[in-house]
């Protein structure tokens, strides 16, 4: 088991970043973005667990398509769908 440091940095300049540490069985920093499918069902990715820890239960990370890994937004569920909690962000993962 490894401990990954996950930093969420807003793309807007001058904004404050948030950092947390999460334990995981992932082998690389890139694999922390993918979800785990096991015999007991769906499990959150390491990045989603860090997002929940920093932004609250139910929040999740959505990768922007067409951009490098780690760029996206954080959403939370609401009546009729989901709503954005952040603007564009970058997620940096390190050991």
Question: What pLDDT digit, counting tens, does each position of 15-72 carry?
Answer: 788 999 998 888 888 888 876 655 444 667 888 889 999 998 889 888 898 888 889 9
86 pLDDT higher than 80:
yes
CB-CB contact of 45 with 60 (8 Å): no
The three-state (H, E, C) secondary structure of 62-94, written as one string: EECCCCCCCEEEEEEEECCEEEECCCCEEEEEE
Report DSSP state, residue 50: H
Which residue in 31, 83, 79 sits closest to 56, CA to CA? Answer: 83
DSSP 28: S
Residue 7 pLDDT > 90, yes or no? Answer: yes
Domain coordinates in residue numbering, the chain: 2-94
pTM: 0.82
């Amino acid at each position: 088991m490894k401990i990954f440091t996950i930093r969420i940095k807003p793309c807007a300049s001058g904004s404050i970043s948030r950092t947390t540490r999460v334990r995981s069985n992932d082998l690389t920093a890139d694999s922390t973005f993918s979800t785990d499918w096991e015999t007991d069902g769906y499990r959150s990715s390491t990045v989603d667990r860090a997002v929940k820890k920093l932004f609250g239960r139910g929040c999740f990370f959505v990768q922007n398509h067409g951009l490098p890994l780690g760029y996206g937004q954080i959403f939370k569920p609401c009546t009729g769908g989901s709503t954005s909690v952040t603007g564009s962000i970058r997620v940096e993962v390190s050991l």
